[in-house]
């Protein structure tokens, strides 16, 4: 049985899966690439928790669990979330494309499950949002969304973000306003170590955008 091996090592395991089980020790399994494990699992029927699937998931527990813990911020919730990720991965393993890395594929599932979890658990505006709002001048004309109201241009908003914000500010801004990820979760996901975490980056980003907006509007008038 041979895996796709498009990216992993092309190693083969010629013994049929149902016989390997009786003699397979850790060394045999460890020698197989992720792609081989998926291939063997599917070749053995693709249902149930085969030893191939167990080994595959074992290799990725740490990153999935760490990610879920950072999203949930709670051990039990993170456990339930991680279980959901692996259940979904098992259910959809047949749709896995052999030309991608298993970790990238698992990232897609983890991301989707985590966003669904956040949507189901978190109110749209977390408490930190109010703190962010209080830290900013209350001027409707200087709000960053004003650029969208004026021009309905998504590209313009992206250009403004790209020009005015640092990389971390952009990421915090996109995750918070684009995906409704709470600021505490963003702090954990991006490993931000400053005392106020993502909140500081969001306040800074909005201040910069507020300052840049009049300049941007002026330059738009000149080019119009």
102 counts as binding another protein under rule CB under 8 A: no
195 counts as binding another protein under rule CB under 8 A: no
Contact 43, 17 (CB under 8 A): yes
98 counts as binding another protein under rule CB under 8 A: no
Measured from the CB atom, is 159 or 218 closer to another protein? 159
Cα–Cα dist 147/218, whole Å: 12
Stretch binding another protein (CB under 8 A), from 87-95, 115-123, 194-202, 216-224 = 87-95
47 CB-side CA count, 13 A: 1
Measured from the CB atom, is 97 or 221 closer to another protein? 97
Report, in Å, the least distance between residue 111 CB and another protein.
Answer: 7
Contact 53, 91 (CB under 8 A): no
Interface residues for another protein in 112-171 (CB under 8 A)?
A: 124-125, 129, 133, 140, 143-145, 148-149, 154, 157-159, 161-162, 165, 167, 170-171
100 counts as binding another protein under rule CB under 8 A: yes
Size of the site for another protein (CB under 8 A): 80
Stretch binding another protein (CB under 8 A), from 18-26, 115-123, 196-204, 213-221 = 18-26
79 counts as binding another protein under rule CB under 8 A: yes
Q: Give the helix ranges, DSSP H, for the chain.
A: 17-23, 26-31, 34-43, 51-72, 75-91, 102-121, 127-134, 146-151, 154-164, 167-173, 179, 183-189, 198-223
Cβ contacts of residue 15 below 8 Å, gap of 6+?
1, 23
| Torsion of Cα atoms, 132 then 78 then 66 then 46, to 10° | -130
Report, in Å, the least distance between residue 39 CB and another protein.
Answer: 16
């Amino acid at each position: 049985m041979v895996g796709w091996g498009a990216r992993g090592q092309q190693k083969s395991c010629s013994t049929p899966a149902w016989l390997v089980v009786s003699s397979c020790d850790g060394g045999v399994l460890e020698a197989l690439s992720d792609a081989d494990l998926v291939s063997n699992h599917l070749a053995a029927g693709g249902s149930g928790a085969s030893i191939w699937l167990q080994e595959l998931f074992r290799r990725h527990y740490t990153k999935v669990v760490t990610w879920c813990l950072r999203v949930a911020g709670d051990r039990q919730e993170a456990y339930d979330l991680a279980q959901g990720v692996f259940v979904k991965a098992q259910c959809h393993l047949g749709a896995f494309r052999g030309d991608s890395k298993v970790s990238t594929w698992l990232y897609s599932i983890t991301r989707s499950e985590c966003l669904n979890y956040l949507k189901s658990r978190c109110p749209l505006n977390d408490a930190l949002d109010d703190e962010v709002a209080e830290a900013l001048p209350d001027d409707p004309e200087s709000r960053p969304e004003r650029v969208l109201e004026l021009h309905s241009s998504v590209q313009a908003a992206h250009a403004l973000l790209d020009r005015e914000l640092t990389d971390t500010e952009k990421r915090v801004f996109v995750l918070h306003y684009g995906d409704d990820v709470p600021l505490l979760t963003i702090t954990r996901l991006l490993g931000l170590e400053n005392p106020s975490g993502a909140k500081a980056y969001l306040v800074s980003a909005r201040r910069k955008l507020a300052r840049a907006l009049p300049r941007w509007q002026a330059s738009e008038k000149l080019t119009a």
